[in-house]
Amino acid sequence: MIPPNVEPAVRMLCDLPEARLPDAVESVYLYGSIALDAYVEGSSDIDFVAFVKRPLTEEDLAAMADIHKAVDKAWPGLQFMGSYLCREDAGKEADAVTAFPSYFNERLDPNGAHADLNPVTWWILKKRGICVYGTDAPFAYEIPANALVRYVIGNMNTYWHNQVNRLEHRLLSLPDDPEGKLPPERLDEAVEWCVLGMLRQHYTIVWQDVTSKLGAGAYGLELLPERWHGLIREALAGIRFGAFAASGFGRTAALY
């Protein structure tokens, strides 16, 4: 299930800690688009969770930062995003986990900034996660379907509510206000992120399950009237052609 262009980079990310910090990492799992069989080259992140055997020291963190730099240099264009946790923290949300490192936007943060720990992450990890290093042991936590739906509804009423208001404000700004205009490329990104993101939310609420952006697009084409199909296809086309990769909308963690 791991795309051929991704597998060597993932192997490098697992092999280097084994060589430099042999007593640190217990196992590494992939989740996100790869686990959902919806990875798009040039567009999708490589989402991972690494479970550590012990808390990482400052020296460990420096070594891990060097390892990530080496992987990024060897495989430019691949966007890794993940967290380093103790196994007992699996299933918890970010604010319930004591300081842990996370990797986001080519930077290792020791305090878990931008960590993607939420019910959607844990749902995918337990049901579809791919163990790429260490022992694939069963996860003890449970994410009830109603908890998944509650998270999505809360996400809609916070992040998505603010996002829509922000876009509306930008789009309705006066034409002579250069700061208020949304450049065409950003508008394309907003179409991709918002159309498919909201369809993912709807899918989860209706089916109490998780789908990818591509799956959400297919779902929308089946569900919505034909007058919306052009917009959905436009969003899907943007992802397939990789325009999503540089999007400020898509590079925000802990959102679904």
Backbone angles phi, psi at 108, to 5 degrees: -95, 115
Q: What is the DSSP string of 24-63?
A: TEEEEEEEHHHHTT---TTT-EEEEEEEESS---HHHHHH
* 12, amino acid identity: M
Q: Are 167 and 198 in contact (CB under 8 A)?
A: no
Q: What pLDDT shows up at residue 80?
A: 97
> Can you list the domains of the chain with their CATH numbers?
7-133 (3.30.460), 145-246 (no CATH)
Closest listed residue to residue 193, CA positions, set 114, 149, 247, 115: 247
Q: What is the pLDDT of residues 183-240, one digit of tens each?
A: 666 667 778 888 999 999 999 999 999 999 999 999 999 999 999 999 999 999 888 6
Q: Is the pLDDT of residue 254 over 70?
A: no
**Farthest-apart Cα atoms in the chain, separation:** 60
Q: How confident is the model at residue 250 (pLDDT cuts 50, 70, 90)?
A: very low
Closest CA to 105 of 78, 67, 75: 78
* Positive or negative: CA dihedral 56, 62, 68, 70: negative
Whole-structure pTM value: 0.87
**Residue 29 structure tokens:** 């799992």
Q: Which of 68-72, 174-178, 229-233, 239-243 has the lowest mean pLDDT?
A: 174-178
pLDDT greater than 90 at residue 89:
yes
Q: How far apart are the first and last CA of the chain?
A: 22
- Report whether pLDDT(99) > 70: yes
CA 142 to CA 151: how far, in whole Å? 14
Q: Is the pLDDT of residue 242 over 80?
A: no
Choose the weakest-confidence range: 60-64, 101-105, 181-185, 197-201. 181-185
Tens-place pLDDT, residues 135-159? 999 999 999 999 999 999 999 999 9
Residue 12: CB atoms within 10 A of its CB come to 14
Place of tokens 């802990």: 254
For 115-132, what is each residue's pLDDT tens digit?
A: 889 999 999 999 999 999
